[in-house]
Structure 1
């Protein structure tokens, strides 16, 4: 009975993960991977490891697409190279920094907060390297 309940909870988690693959702010592939990992542990890896490997690859590709999309988005709105690379570094540090602390929602929060803070620090460093008259022009 408890295995059936766990099964349906994991199915619901996967459905939320599929929705999260399209809706921003919901961890999509990481929820699906977590559900598959829990099921593999419960069944003592009775299923082939191919689905687990494919979902892991999808998680990596999803994170890469999100990072590149944010990088290109920052470029489109006029961020400097310093801001773009700061955002990229902040996203990577946030993703891997919060992974051990909060395995499900931590990477998503880390990507959002790390990217924001990294971009801010990068732009601040870029603006501090400009001469004073250039900083005044870009501020307005």
Structure 2
């Protein structure tokens, strides 16, 4: 048990904490890139700021870039199609509903399919509702078409963001390993 609290033992604990970032980037209800700075803080607790600051800075920057990736993915997808500002909120609610399995039409897909179908459905419904109102004032069929396209764009943006965050998690893990072996 004494090995557990040595710098080598704490390094392995920090690495295991950072490894949680990988499933967190794909599973919507788990935290993702936040595990990178948390793991580096564990490492910093063992070796001090003077030795662990590069790992911490790298992990914090990657976490910030991951947040920006999510915001850009939703914002660009919505702005490009001139979607209402509520389509991203609809996608978020749809994601939560889909992942929790509250979509009864998807008994075969589970949370993973719900994570893809839920945001599309949420963004589609919200966008359809808001495009039937002035100033756009589209008919229901055209509003539904526009809402479906916006929903697909939001889901595509989320997928691109998740892939980017996965790559950032891998980069953060590799950076931690390389930087902590001076």
> TM-score, normalised to structure 2's length?
0.43
CA 1:24–1:124 in 2, change beyond 3 Å: closer, same or farther? same
Q: Deviations over 1:63-115 (max 9, x none)?
A: 11122123334567x67132356579x7xxxxxxxxxxxxxxxxxxxxx9xxx
CA contact (8 A) 2:86 2:126 kept: yes
Q: CA deviation at 1:139?
A: 4.3
Aligned to 2:55: 51
Residue from 82, 85, 94 that aligns with 1:82? 85
The counterpart of 2:17, out of the listed 13, 16, 23, is 13
User: Alpha-carbon deviation of 1:54?
Assistant: 2.2
TM-score by length of 1: 0.52
Q: Secondary structure at the match of 2:51?
A: coil
- 2:26 equivalent to 1:24: yes
Q: Where does the alignment leave 5 or more consecutive residues of structure 2 unmatched?
A: 93-114, 146-182
> Is structure 2 residue 68 aligned with structure 1 residue 64?
yes
- List aligned pairs for 1:27-42, cutoff 5 A: 27-42=31-46
Separation of aligned partners in 1, 2:68 and 2:55: 20
Q: Secondary structure at the match of 2:34?
A: helix
Cα deviation, residue 35, structure 1: 0.6
Post-superposition CA distance 1:42-74 (Å, at most 9, x none):
434241423212221111112111221233345
2:49 alignment partner, SS class: coil
User: Structure 2 vs 1, CA of residues 52 and 121 (structure 1 numbering), >3 Å: closer, same or farther?
Assistant: farther
Structure 1 stretches lacking a partner, 5+ long: 91-111
CA contact (8 A) 1:13 1:35 kept: yes
The higher radius of gyration belongs to 2
Aligned length: 111
